[in-house]
Amino acid sequence: MENYFELFSLDVGFDIDLNALNSSYKQQVAKFHPDKFVTKSVSEQSNALQNTSLINDALDTLKSPLKRATYLLELQGINAFDEKDTSMDTDFLMSQIKLREKLELIESERDELGLDSFIGNIDSKINENVEQLERLFIKDDFDGIKNLVRELKFYIQLNYHSSRLMDEWL
């Protein structure tokens, strides 16, 4: 099987042209539109459905900086979330604890302004992390990338949780 980048005729790399990705996606998915397979065999219809699913998975992976970075590591034979590899930067682990405690305090006090500020802070950390990933991919610093991918996953989960809280309060 070709990789997701080849599927969309993109150069393999972290920094991708999202407009080109979307354009190529539309071309690829149009090839397997169900209307084109109405008169085909059940096998051909099933194959078209599988191809559409693969194309959608590929799009989902390449659009997300976290999933794209994780996928690029996998292409190098590196599993960023290998359960046997628990090494993490101590400073980052401490900052995780502090951020979670801060969010718990904001939640217990139902501090909407504090939550809004917290979300803005996490958004900044996500953007900084993505910028760092771009630099590390240029250098092929796969150990650094693996650590940043783990950090990015944490920030995205924290962002999701805090945004859900905001939605509940509104």
Q: Are 102 and 153 members of one domain?
A: yes
The confidence score (pLDDT) of residue 110 equals 95
Domain membership of residue 94 (yes or no) is yes
Q: Are 94 and 164 members of one domain?
A: yes
Q: Are 55 and 100 members of one domain?
A: no
The confidence score (pLDDT) of residue 34 equals 80
Residues of the chain under the 50 pLDDT cut:
none
Contact 25, 8 (CB under 8 A): yes
pTM: 0.90
Range of the domain at 150: 90-169
- Indicate the number of domains in the chain: 2
Separation between Cα atoms, residue 153 and residue 157, nearest integer Å: 6
Dihedral, 51, 55, 58, 59 alpha carbons, nearest 10: -170
Contact 89, 159 (CB under 8 A): no
- Measured CA to CA in angstroms, residue 26 lies from 6, 30, 155 at distances of 15, 6, 31
The confidence score (pLDDT) of residue 91 equals 92
The confidence score (pLDDT) of residue 13 equals 96
Q: Are 161 and 112 members of one domain?
A: yes
